Amino acid sequence: MSSAPPSATPLVLVVEDEPGIASILCAYLERDGLRARTAADGREALRLVQQLRPDLVLLDIHLPEVDGIDVLRAIRDGGQTPVIMVTALADDVDKLLALRLGADDYVVKPFNPPEVVARVRAVLRRTQARLAPSSAPIRVGAIEIDAQAHSACCFDAAGQAQPLALTLTEFRLLSCLAAQPRRCFSRGYLIEQCLPESDALERVIDSHMSKLRRKLQLAGQDGLIETVRGIGYRLWPAS
Ligand code: CA
């Protein structure tokens, strides 16, 4: 997550090797009151993500040096910085979903710059809503979710907290399910709450949920998330 204070003007890192597109995107973002910086290749993108700690990365998939998929993978290995992927082909979206790398949204070229800015704003709103001071950490069974710290952990048998490395979407899904344990949430509701304005299909929820489950399973929480046939999902803690 960003190290900038929530009140600061959000910084968007535009990773794009076509200078014309990069400058149009920056102009629209800045006109909307955001700050923008550019990186022209994957290597520079990774350096600037480390150095600038942007609030969001707008990431072209086809890049010189290190391609967008590897940049996304590296960003996800290092944290939960929101990422919107920019692709030239709708097929790339399927590839990204299949890889389950946890991009927060997808934009397909050729795009309409105001629409990209709207998507950026939507993802930032979701991120900042999660960062806004709310309540004490939620504890459900062995899982603890701290919305303020934007972190989740799992307590092992010895009572030691084991951090869960979740993507932004997985974190939102887990928080949503944990807010009302045992309630069954439909896929449509989860999309609305956790992936609004993303035009996501219901199978996108299955993909995120399966990755979230695997992480919980590795933390010893097998079966915590139940699939409710024909409806969706619920969190069903043992105790
Ligand atoms: Ca490109």
Which of 106, 131, 156 terminates a domain? The answer is 131
Q: Which amino acid is at 145?
A: I
Instruction: Please report the pLDDT score of residue 72 as a whole number.
Output: 93
Residue 43 maps to which CATH number? 3.40.50.2300
Least reliable range by pLDDT among 55-64, 85-94, 114-123 = 85-94
What is the secondary structure of 87-103 as a DSSP string?
ES-HHHHHHHHHHT---
Which stretch of DSSP H or E encloses residue 25? helix 19-31
Question: Which of the four pLDDT bands, split at 50, 70 and 90, describes residue 184?
Answer: confident
Residue 179 maps to which CATH number? 1.10.10.10
- Ligand 1 centre to CA of 127 (Å) is 26
- Ligand 1 centre to CA of 78 (Å) is 23
User: Which residue range(s) make up the domain with 59?
Assistant: 11-131
Do 98 and 204 reside in the same domain of the chain? no
Q: Which amino acid is at 15?
A: V
- CA-to-CA distance for 57 and 120, rounded, in angstroms? 9
- Ligand 1 centre to CA of 49 (Å) is 18
- Ligand 1 centre to CA of 87 (Å) is 8
- Ligand 1 centre to CA of 92 (Å) is 13
Tell me what the mean pLDDT of segment 141-146 comes to.
91
Which of 131, 162, 195 terminates a domain? The answer is 131
- Ligand 1 centre to CA of 174 (Å) is 34
Q: Collapsing DSSP states into helix, strand and coil, what is residue 181?
A: coil
- In this model, does residue 133 exceed pLDDT 80? no
Q: Collapsing DSSP states into helix, strand and coil, what is residue 60?
A: strand
Do 226 and 121 reside in the same domain of the chain? no
- Ligand 1 centre to CA of 18 (Å) is 6
- In this model, does residue 3 exceed pLDDT 50? no
Do 38 and 104 reside in the same domain of the chain? yes
Measured torsion, CA atoms of residues 98, 100, 103, 107, in degrees rounded to the nearest 10:
0
Do 207 and 188 reside in the same domain of the chain? yes
How many other C-beta atoms lie within 10 A of the C-beta of residue 98? 9
How distant, in Å, are the alpha carbons of 106, 199, 210 from that of 238?
Answer: 36, 34, 19
Do 119 and 182 reside in the same domain of the chain? no
